[in-house]
A and B are shown apart, each in its own frame.
Chain A
Amino acid sequence: MLDSFDQYVVDRLDRLLRFATAMTCDPHLAQDVVQEVLLRAQRKWSHIGQLQARDSYVRRMIINEYLSWRRRRAARAVSHSTLDALGTPTADHATGYAERDAMRGRIATLPRKQRAALVLRYYEDRTDAEIADLLGCSAGTVRSHISRALSTLRAAHQHHVSEAYS
């Protein structure tokens, strides 16, 4: 007989890991982040377990953990761990692989809040209001994060494409 926390973890762990992996671009960082958050959630489960929106609560914890994860280290670690992580392409022989690969590299260098907002929009299909709630900011700020991220990525994408075909 599983208790409420165990049941939550069994039901949600895989989704949480996938979400965190999409956000961090690093499966092992994602694992560390999710693990730390769940250990903390476990201790506070008498409170969290009562919440209607407990899944949102846990996701908010995961996002915050990621946003604050060794802030200074992360900036430098991009060159090591993230690029290492990026070096493992998924099996995909469709055309446009190079394009996708370049995009992956670009996303990895975006500011974390922008990246979190993008994941919530394009992986989780959340609305501006939901993203604002999860990121703890206004819907206007969410829109600005996403539009800035998109313009950075579009510019880079144009550059990549024009370089490839020039």
Chain B
Amino acid sequence: MTEDRTEQLIRDVFADQAARAVDGREVLDTLRGKPRRRYGLVLATAAVVVVIAAVATFVIPEVFRRSAPPAADQPQQNTVQPTSVLVGGLDAEGRTDTLALAQVHEDGAVSLVSLPRDSWVHLPEGPPLRISQVRKFFDTDKLLDVVRDLTGVQPEHYAFVDMAAFADLADAVGGVRVCLNAPAEDPYAGVDLPAGEQVVTGDAALGFVRQRHGLPNGDFDRVKRAQVFLQGVVAKLGDADLTELVDAVAGRLQTDPGLDLLGLAGQLAAAPSLHVGTIPITDGAHEVPGAGSVVAVDPAQVTEYVGGIKGTPPVDGVPCVN
């Protein structure tokens, strides 16, 4: 049977489409590291927040000070201005792969509450969906509404950072000191590093953060690496070429026009304590027909938890990692 032009076109189209399939590694990682995955995402969110906070806290005031010394008549901003900022890490497709609600409280304390990306959220209209998809399918405003309805806190501002920004940070600070428990080798991520303390730059730094294969605890270890990497970045900020550092993040940070990064930086720098947590979940592997496994959350519980986040203990420590 000979095929007509339409049928040939159909074949071509399907062949083209099939060729666009994503690399299977992410699926493999998920299949192999499932039990730790959700916890890992929480840490990844914290890591993204650290980048934003580090840049906002250390870099921007420093640049500001150098380029434009504050005038004597400039009013001192010593009073705490409570605010809330929704922060997220964007994947290449614009999904919010990591998401957290940052709040500056009346007493100056800062809290960060992570919202797992698979949180199953309900919109006033239309079917429920994963929170990571809200911004992609709708827009940032809709995501802000969803977060308000879930947490009881209306985010006043937002800041989203491209996850790829991690890479250029290492070079901008002239290398990051990290410590490995064992040699790391992963051709996929382009990593070949010895055990022990060392300084990583460029591709090695990127590989250090990206490696997922061959890690004893999979994604959990990867996120741990991202954390110590960022702590390393923060430690090197003093030596950094600040212009380069700002460039590394500048084009990759999306904020609302009203967000005063300088003001926020001041608040963060002065914070007496930092409280980090994750919203309570009612079911970490909730099966939804047609959507698979999602994270079930109850807005009443979440609202109560977010209201009491300041009661949780702060975090510290920069260990050697796997």
Contacts and interface: CB of A to CB of B under 8 A. Distances in A.
B129 A73 contact: yes
A55 interface: no
Contact of B21 (A17, A92, A96): A17
B9 A157 contact: yes
A139 interface: no
Contacts of B32: 6
Given A28-B93, A42-B31, A157-B5, A22 B290 contact: no
Contact of B13 (A9, A27, A100): A100
A118 B10 contact: yes
Contacts of A27: 20-22
Interface hub of A28, A69, A154 (most chain B Cβ within 10 A): A28
A153 B6 CA distance: 7
B36 interface: no
Given A68-B290, A123-B11, A157-B5, A31 B127 contact: no
A30 B31 contact: no
Interface string A14-57: 10011111100101101110111111101000000000000000
A165 to B, nearest CB: 14
A123 B126 contact: no
Contact of A13 (B17, B18, B27): B27
Nearest to B94: A84
Interface in B275-319: 289-293
Interface in B87-131: 93, 95, 126-127, 129
Nearest to A118: B10
B290 A99 contact: no
A150 interface: yes
User: By DSSP majority rule, is chain A's interface helix, strand, loop, or mixed?
Assistant: helix
Contacts of B11: 122-123
A35 B18 CA distance: 16
Given A28-B22, A150-B7, A36 B137 contact: no
Nearest to A96: B9
A100 B12 contact: yes
Contacts of A70: 127, 129, 290-291
B31 A31 contact: no
A73 to B, nearest CB: 5
Interface string A98-126: 01100110010000000000110011000
B21 A69 contact: no
A71 B290 contact: yes
Given A36-B292, A73-B129, A157 B24 contact: no
Interface residues of B, number: 38
A80 B12 contact: no
Contacts of B7: 122, 150
A129 interface: no
A72 interface: yes
A15 to B, nearest CB: 9
A119 B12 CA distance: 11
Nearest to A77: B137
A9 B18 CA distance: 18
B73 interface: no
Contacts of B93: 28
A30 to B, nearest CB: 6
Contacts of A92: 16
Contact of B127 (A42, A72, A88): A72
Interface of B: 4-7, 9-22, 24, 26-28, 30-32, 34, 93, 95, 126-127, 129, 136-137, 289-293
Which 10 A/B pairs are nearest by Cβ-Cβ distance? A36-B292, A68-B290, A18-B18, A123-B14, A21-B21, A13-B24, A17-B21, A22-B18, A22-B14, A18-B21
